[in-house]
Chain A
Amino acid sequence: MTSRRPRARRGWAAHERVPALAAARALALTALLAGVLGGVLGGAAAQTVTIRTGEDPNARLEVRTVPLPGGATRTVYVVTARRVVLEDEEVTVRASRLEFDPSEGVVRIVGRGRVERPGETIVGEDLRVELRGGRLDGDDMVVIADDVYVVGEGARRVEGRISVMAGRLAPCARCGQQVEDYAFAARRIELLPGDRLIAWGVVVTIRDVPVFAFPLLVLPLADEARSPRLEIASGNADDPGVVRVDWPYVAGTNAFGIATARLRLDVDPAAGGFFDGRILGGEVQDVSLAPSVDHRFYDARGAGRLRVRYQPEWTRDDGTVLAEERLAFTATYASDGASGDPAVSLRLARDDDARPDLLEATWRVAADLGPFRASYRTQLPLVRDPDADVRPTWKDGGTPFATPFALRLDAGDGTVAFGPWRWEGVAVDLGAFRDAPDPTNRSALGGDRVGDGRLEVRHRLVLERARLGNLEVRGSNAFRGRYYGSGERQVDWASEVAADLSLDAYGSLGLTLERATVEGETPFAFERASLRTRADLRVRGTWVPLPTLVPGTRLEGDAGWTFVDDRAPDEVGWKPTEVTLSTLGEVDVASLRAVHRADPRLRDLGTLDVDASLRTPDGRFEASATLDQRIDLDLEQPEAQRDAPPADAGEGTLEASAGLPDVATAALDVGWDLDRTDAAVEADETFTWTPVTLRATLGTSARGDRVPSLAARWTFDPEGDALAETSEVRYTATADVGAFRAEIEESYGPAGAAPGTHRVRLAWDDLLAAQVDGVPLLPGDAIGLPEDDTAARDVRLRIEDGGGLAGLGLRAELRATFRPTDDGDRERRDTRFEASLQVGDRTWFTGALQAEAEAFLDVPLRDDVQPEGYLRRANLAVGVDVLRTVGLQGRFGYRGRYDLASESVASGQLAFEAVTLTVRPNRAWTLGATLDDTWEVRADEPADDLRLDPRPTLFAAWDRCCWAAYARWDTRSGEVVLTLGRPGTREGRVLRFDEGPTVPWGEEEGEP
């Protein structure tokens, strides 16, 4: 036996060998440091025991030497303090005085103490605890395990089982009830924490009054899925009652499961006593047993599961069928990955409810076969009626309806390399399938399903970069072919070969041949593919003339040929060409680029684009000019870009700018068209200016920089009737003053054009913003650009949050459209006020008021079309809690309908969506009322469903901590529901009365 001396911590070792009195004195002096002792427990595995006394200055440690009968002695530590805590690896003992025998590993509590283990707490008098084996004895004990309170005169814990003599199962003990609402007194109680509680000789007491007795009580404490369970559901005239028992079992060392007996009871609601009438819903007329089992098992290679559920046919004597015969089962087995080859999986399933008459069978075997992974699978829906319309569980669009057999050899990630070639992704799949016919394949149509054999081959051949001097060749060939017994084939084949010839510093030449095809036929819908075949050749070339003498100059070309494209046959032939000449590429202040685009297939000489630019070197002052010129080289053909209309014209632009960034800049954009068509030549209009834009910017518009900005743009048409006819004037101005920012944006079209943009926005930091649209600050007349008098003008005023108000969002908008009338006036229409507000979960008055709300309002206002304002929509979703006593939540909504013919509100409906008022006068009681209804509040004769009817559903909950009762009364229908269950849930025993009392209302008022 290995012994270890108590391990000293924080200076206690110094006192261990001193006489008890001195030690006690020392303890008193060092109590603040807390005491620690290590205990030596017998056995090979030594454990460390820690004893703490907290901050108690009067804590005492006595080391007693106890003589044994054989003459030997034993050392016992006696610790006294206001609170002594002894901690082992799994056990914590709390007491005010305890004796610890480290050699035996025994703790004796003097007086009342507490022993805690994970999931288990025992409180009692004079407890004796064995730290090693977990044994425990004591008197006057309370055992708390798995939320179960057991009180007993004496108890013993042996190997995880707690025996309580003359005990009481008292769920209400933890609630501090002086007189417990209910309890179960028992002659003997066996508690197996985490599993179950068994009590013998049980007497049920209510408020300490014995009510009735029964010999045995078993209470499951295990995980819900592995607990015995009893469920009782009441029946009625339409649905049978159900008594269901789930019983977990263990079958040997490698199997377990749950067996279930489900009794379905045909009841007569008009008859029956207390038990069958109230609990089962009526007198039992007939019984049907529907058993089921969920069994799991394991073997050396894998695991399996069998689930079976059976409902026999159940008919009344009069021939009424209460239940059809139904069988559902799933049997699965799969080997573990770690158990090696062959990997096997099986599945056999049938579910008469979900898929009647269908038995599903799946079998898979896989093993390595040389360099391949070989797998075999069979997946069959076995149908009794071949014409039945069934859908197996695996039918997801990409899986066949049935696979009688399929054998696959797959090389996986394996590759074979020979020289520059690499062969990869090799797989062969041979199988027979049955599936719905591909609807696009006419020869496959004719029945609901088609069956056929299929061989699928796939591989990919890759040519790595192979060099032959300056020539580099690479390529790939990816192939997937499917070959069917019907003689049909479907091929997905993509090939690419590319060759690049390097001319060193003088350029390169590249050639790429690509072909991609998805073609053929499949008889099966699950393999349907989108068909397309296209093949083309592309040539790219780069030439760098005199690389050292003219650096940055290069000529690039791109051309090609389309051999076939069955989706676009008109594209077969030459591909569009592009030749680009770039120069001055290494000069900072200038660049020149010319691009020629043509379409040889259309015999189009195409276009020539020339781009030239000049700019100042880096510095404070910046200036640049860019010239783009496009010249159409062929007047007879459309431009190279397909689908574009014939242009027969060139165009050019010049952009120039200069200035000091962030201070003042000016820019000019000018363009022109060159039209060489006969008509243009005849009219002497071969050169025309396009609109010119002048731009100027002062300051910066960056937020918060306190530098005002003004940006203006004037676009005019030099070709207009009047010189410099304005196309558009636009300006924006911004200014930041403290936390405020003002923005103005206005634009004007040509004289007489539709109203432009007129926007003024004032923002207060990111808190609030106001914006007006449609009201010109600077009238167009003032700058000679009057707006169209006959155009409608939309005006809107909006106030909204800026996103910086945490938990608060708001928006209010007033808008209208002003439209000119025939008599020269303007009418106002579509006038509307819309507002919304969101208040997140907030508290006020130090938490006394807690609320969140969301509101919306939509009000068309009186204008020249709408005769009067009316409320079109409004809603308020609210949650309010006052003093945690009164609560209101739900959604109030209103919607109105206006009849323009009668100029009146035709309908106004007020909707209450789960509007609930709750009052909680104390912790035990909750009272409330719920309204869920829609009322017509404007029409004189609303439909029956929309009549005003404020009768709510009343509810009350009584929470007694260890049990709770709920009552709900629908004052309109009279339905009363009483529920007895656990606090916090509304599940439990339910008593329902459909024809309870109602509150009279409306036409019912006169009825008795």
Chain B
Amino acid sequence: MRPNPRRNRAAALLAAVALTLSACTGTQETRTPVALWVGGTPDGGATGALHVRATNLPRPPGDAPPPLEDVPSLRVALPGPVTTLRVSDDGSTVFALYRSDADRIAVFDASALDLADPTSLVRTRTIDLGARVAAALPGFDAPSDACATGMDVSSDGAWVAVTHDARACGDATGVPEALLVDVAPDGTRAFASVGSDDAPATPRFAVLDGRERFAWLTRGASAAVRTRALEAPADADVFADLGPYEDATGLGVGGGGLVVLEDDALVAIDAGDGTRSAEWRTEDDAPFTGVIDLGPRSGRSDGGAAYARTAGGIAFVRDVAADPRDVAVVTGRAFDPRDATVGPYDYLYVARRSEVVAFDLLALAGLDADDDALRAAHDARLDGLEARAVAWTFARDGRTAE
């Protein structure tokens, strides 16, 4: 900019205005409460339950509630252990996978959840997943033959992706399969993975190459990610060839693409062409032992976070779309993590066997940033629930004026 008196006068005037405005700070209002859904089993495996914990509640002066407040009135009993929780993209529907005599999905309306109103926790329907699989796929003679060990839900809630592993249900050995099941009220379609490769990881829904696809990991002589576009689910194709000998064990969504877990690394897969775009390892090369979930919410939002179980707890990558030289893998101490989710206020909630631990993700950036370890901000013991899954939705709190 060339100096001239008129411009300097204008700049000085603007500077004065700007500096004056700089004196103004932001407003302080009450934020929207968050309901943390924790699913599991209250008795070690025979039945299931959903508990709701409330966070970010209004804090009247001198009466600060605990960071993860138990809401005993919002508890639901289910006939079988809850193994997976998923939330639709708009945050209004919660899907809880459980197994009683067969696999079922309890669907809850979370759009009007009120922490003060037990009747606001509404179970809208139950999807008989095992029956749908048995009706649509050969090789499943009875609903109980399907044995889902992990689940994801499509953006519109019309499809679910599950891993069927008969070994988990005890009476047979076989090859894990990735199943795509139409769970719309009148849906009858289901598709199984093709070929003879293992499907070792929970399949995911992801927007790849511009279309929402069902993606699953296959492992044989080589590992690959195969997909079915939801608009034409009968056609399957190989999206990413991961090469021979790769010991791929997990699949997630993050950073606008896919993330594959190999024994000692998280590998980002480009959403456009399926190539490897980045790779992360823990500082001490501790092996990852399983991707729990990826990304904030259900994994399809704009966030690029990825996290996985490690030998010592949780390994977290803030943005898998970034250059690994700029974003390190940080770890958080949380022995035996079962599931995790990133909430709207930048806390990573990790469900352990009998407690939920919240890690502050903002401590990874800015002042006093800690690049090495996730800092546990608070935790809460679960009341008589062995946790297996965790998810979050927004809620209202009718106990306070809004």
Q: Which residues of A contact B (CB under 8 A)?
A: 370-371, 397, 411, 413-416, 423, 426, 428, 439-443, 445, 457, 459, 461, 477, 479, 481, 483, 487-491, 493, 514, 516-521, 530-532, 534-536, 562, 565, 567-568, 643, 809, 811, 836-838, 854-856, 858, 860, 872-875, 877, 891, 893-901, 906-907, 909, 911, 913, 934, 936, 942-946
| B25 within 8 Å of A (CB atoms) | yes
| B196 within 8 Å of A (CB atoms) | yes
What's the minimum C-beta distance from B163 to chain A, rounded to whole angstroms? 15
| B173 within 8 Å of A (CB atoms) | yes
Q: Which residues of A contact B31 (CB under 8 A)?
A: 440-442
Considering the chains assembled together, what is the distance between the CA atoms of A534 and B367 in angstroms?
A: 7
Interface string of B1-14 (1 = CB under 8 A from A): 10000111011101
| B119 within 8 Å of A (CB atoms) | no
Leading 4 A-B pairs by shortest Cβ distance = A520-B26, A893-B196, A943-B138, A856-B221
In the complex the two chains form, is B221's CB within 8 Å of A854's CB? yes
Stretch at the interface among B76-84, B96-104, B271-279, B358-366: B358-366
| B394 within 8 Å of A (CB atoms) | yes
Known A442-B402, A901-B171; judge A530-B346 contact (CB<8 A): yes
Q: Out of B139, B196, B346, which one reaches A873, CB within 8 Å?
A: B196
A371-B10, A479-B21, A873-B175 known; 16 new pairs, CB 8 Å cut-off, are: A371-B7, A461-B15, A481-B22, A483-B24, A489-B26, A490-B27, A491-B24, A517-B26, A519-B25, A530-B362, A568-B377, A837-B221, A877-B221, A907-B174, A909-B139, A911-B196
In the complex the two chains form, is B27's CB within 8 Å of A489's CB? yes
Considering the chains assembled together, what is the distance between the CA atoms of A854 and B9 in angstroms?
A: 75
| B302 within 8 Å of A (CB atoms) | yes
In the complex the two chains form, is B173's CB within 8 Å of A897's CB? yes
Query: Which chain A residue has the least Cβ–Cβ distance from B175?
Result: A895
In the complex the two chains form, is B245's CB within 8 Å of A809's CB? yes
Query: Which chain B residue has the least Cβ–Cβ distance from A811?
Result: B245
Query: Which chain B residue has the least Cβ–Cβ distance from A906?
Result: B172
* Total interface residues in chain B, CB < 8 Å: 57
Considering the chains assembled together, what is the distance between the CA atoms of A860 and B346 in angstroms?
A: 46
| B166 within 8 Å of A (CB atoms) | yes
Q: Out of B10, B29, B171, which one reaches A488, CB within 8 Å?
A: B29
In the complex the two chains form, is A442's CB within 8 Å of B360's CB? no
Q: Which residues of B contact A426 (CB under 8 A)?
A: 11, 14-15, 18
In the complex the two chains form, is A836's CB within 8 Å of B244's CB? yes
> Which of B10, B173, B222, B377 has the most chain A CB atoms inside 10 A of its CB?
B173
Q: Which residues of A contact B139 (CB under 8 A)?
A: 907, 909, 936, 943, 946
Q: Which residues of A contact B195 (CB under 8 A)?
A: 875, 891, 893, 911, 913
Considering the chains assembled together, what is the distance between the CA atoms of A423 and B175 in angstroms?
A: 65
Complex A-B: 21 CB contacts under 8 Å: A371-B1, A416-B12, A428-B14, A479-B18, A483-B24, A514-B367, A519-B25, A532-B366, A643-B375, A836-B221, A854-B244, A895-B196, A896-B174, A896-B175, A897-B175, A898-B174, A899-B172, A901-B171, A907-B174, A911-B194, A913-B195
In the complex the two chains form, is A897's CB within 8 Å of B172's CB? yes
In the complex the two chains form, is B22's CB within 8 Å of A893's CB? no
Q: Out of A439, A855, A901, A909, which one reaches B32, CB within 8 Å?
A: A439
Q: Which residues of B contact A423 (CB under 8 A)?
A: 11, 15
In the complex the two chains form, is B26's CB within 8 Å of A567's CB? no
Q: Out of B15, B26, B363, which one reaches A459, CB within 8 Å?
A: B15
In the complex the two chains form, is B173's CB within 8 Å of A442's CB? no
Query: Which chain B residue has the least Cβ–Cβ distance from A872?
Result: B175
Q: Which residues of B contact A370 (CB under 8 A)?
A: 6-7, 10
> Which of B18, B172, B362 has the most chain A CB atoms inside 10 A of its CB?
B18
Known A442-B29, A875-B195, A913-B194; judge A534-B366 contact (CB<8 A): yes
What's the minimum C-beta distance from B196 to chain A, rounded to whole angstroms? 3
Q: Out of A534, A899, A907, which one reaches B368, CB within 8 Å?
A: A534
What's the minimum C-beta distance from B267 to chain A, rounded to whole angstroms? 19
In the complex the two chains form, is B222's CB within 8 Å of A854's CB? yes
What's the minimum C-beta distance from B397 to chain A, rounded to whole angstroms? 9
In the complex the two chains form, is A441's CB within 8 Å of B29's CB? yes
Considering the chains assembled together, what is the distance between the CA atoms of A899 and B172 in angstroms?
A: 4
In the complex the two chains form, is A873's CB within 8 Å of B15's CB? no
| B72 within 8 Å of A (CB atoms) | no
In the complex the two chains form, is A520's CB within 8 Å of B28's CB? yes
In the complex the two chains form, is A489's CB within 8 Å of B24's CB? yes
Known A809-B245, A838-B221; judge A875-B21 contact (CB<8 A): no
Considering the chains assembled together, what is the distance between the CA atoms of A411 and B11 in angstroms?
A: 10
In the complex the two chains form, is B27's CB within 8 Å of A567's CB? no
Interface residues of B in 1-55 (CB under 8 A from A): 1, 6-8, 10-12, 14-15, 17-19, 21-22, 24-32
Number of A-B residue pairs, CB cutoff 8 Å, is 198
Query: Which chain B residue has the least Cβ–Cβ distance from A893?
Result: B196
Considering the chains assembled together, what is the distance between the CA atoms of A774 and B387 in angstroms?
A: 36
Considering the chains assembled together, what is the distance between the CA atoms of A567 and B302 in angstroms?
A: 24
In the complex the two chains form, is A481's CB within 8 Å of B24's CB? yes
Considering the chains assembled together, what is the distance between the CA atoms of A534 and B360 in angstroms?
A: 14
Query: Which chain A residue has the least Cβ–Cβ distance from B198?
Result: A873
Considering the chains assembled together, what is the distance between the CA atoms of A860 and B29 in angstroms?
A: 62
| B382 within 8 Å of A (CB atoms) | no
In the complex the two chains form, is A895's CB within 8 Å of B174's CB? yes
Considering the chains assembled together, what is the distance between the CA atoms of A514 and B24 in angstroms?
A: 18
In the complex the two chains form, is A838's CB within 8 Å of B197's CB? no
Considering the chains assembled together, what is the distance between the CA atoms of A91 and B220 in angstroms?
A: 59
Q: Which residues of B contact A487 (CB under 8 A)?
A: 27
In the complex the two chains form, is B345's CB within 8 Å of A488's CB? no
Query: Which chain B residue has the least Cβ–Cβ distance from A423?
Result: B15
In the complex the two chains form, is B175's CB within 8 Å of A536's CB? no
What's the minimum C-beta distance from B361 to chain A, rounded to whole angstroms? 8
Considering the chains assembled together, what is the distance between the CA atoms of A837 and B194 in angstroms?
A: 21
Known A838-B222, A875-B221, A893-B195; judge A899-B171 contact (CB<8 A): yes
Q: Out of A441, A483, A532, which one reaches B362, CB within 8 Å?
A: A532
In the complex the two chains form, is B22's CB within 8 Å of A477's CB? yes
In the complex the two chains form, is A440's CB within 8 Å of B344's CB? yes
What's the minimum C-beta distance from A800 to chain B, rounded to whole angstroms? 9
What's the minimum C-beta distance from B5 to chain A, rounded to whole angstroms? 12
Q: Which residues of A contact B6 (CB under 8 A)?
A: 370
Query: Which chain B residue has the least Cβ–Cβ distance from A409?
Result: B14
What's the minimum C-beta distance from B331 to chain A, rounded to whole angstroms? 13
Considering the chains assembled together, what is the distance between the CA atoms of A426 and B32 in angstroms?
A: 33
Interface string of B265-289 (1 = CB under 8 A from A): 0000000000000000000000000
> Which of A397, A440, A488, A837 has the most chain B CB atoms inside 10 A of its CB?
A440
What's the minimum C-beta distance from A990 to chain B, rounded to whole angstroms? 19
In the complex the two chains form, is B29's CB within 8 Å of A416's CB? no
Query: Which chain A residue has the least Cβ–Cβ distance from B221?
Result: A856
| B376 within 8 Å of A (CB atoms) | yes
Q: Out of B7, B138, B172, which one reaches A945, CB within 8 Å?
A: B138
Q: Out of A531, A836, A891, A893, which one reaches B245, CB within 8 Å?
A: A836
Interface residues of B in 329-384 (CB under 8 A from A): 344-346, 360, 362-363, 366-368, 375-377
In the complex the two chains form, is A479's CB within 8 Å of B32's CB? no
> Which of A481, A490, A518, A643 has the most chain B CB atoms inside 10 A of its CB?
A481
In the complex the two chains form, is A457's CB within 8 Å of B18's CB? yes
Considering the chains assembled together, what is the distance between the CA atoms of A945 and B139 in angstroms?
A: 9
In the complex the two chains form, is A567's CB within 8 Å of B362's CB? yes
Q: Which residues of B contact A943 (CB under 8 A)?
A: 138-139
Q: Which residues of B contact A440 (CB under 8 A)?
A: 31-32, 344-345
In the complex the two chains form, is B32's CB within 8 Å of A442's CB? yes
Query: Which chain A residue has the least Cβ–Cβ distance from B91?
Result: A439
What's the minimum C-beta distance from B396 to chain A, rounded to whole angstroms? 8
Query: Which chain B residue has the least Cβ–Cβ distance from A939?
Result: B139
> Which of A371, A855, A874, A898 has the most chain B CB atoms inside 10 A of its CB?
A371
Q: Which residues of B contact A519 (CB under 8 A)?
A: 25-26, 28
Considering the chains assembled together, what is the distance between the CA atoms of A457 and B15 in angstroms?
A: 10
Q: Which residues of B contact A371 (CB under 8 A)?
A: 1, 7, 10-11
Q: Which residues of A contact B19 (CB under 8 A)?
A: 461
Considering the chains assembled together, what is the distance between the CA atoms of A532 and B32 in angstroms?
A: 16
Q: Which residues of B contact A891 (CB under 8 A)?
A: 195
Q: Which residues of B contact A896 (CB under 8 A)?
A: 174-175
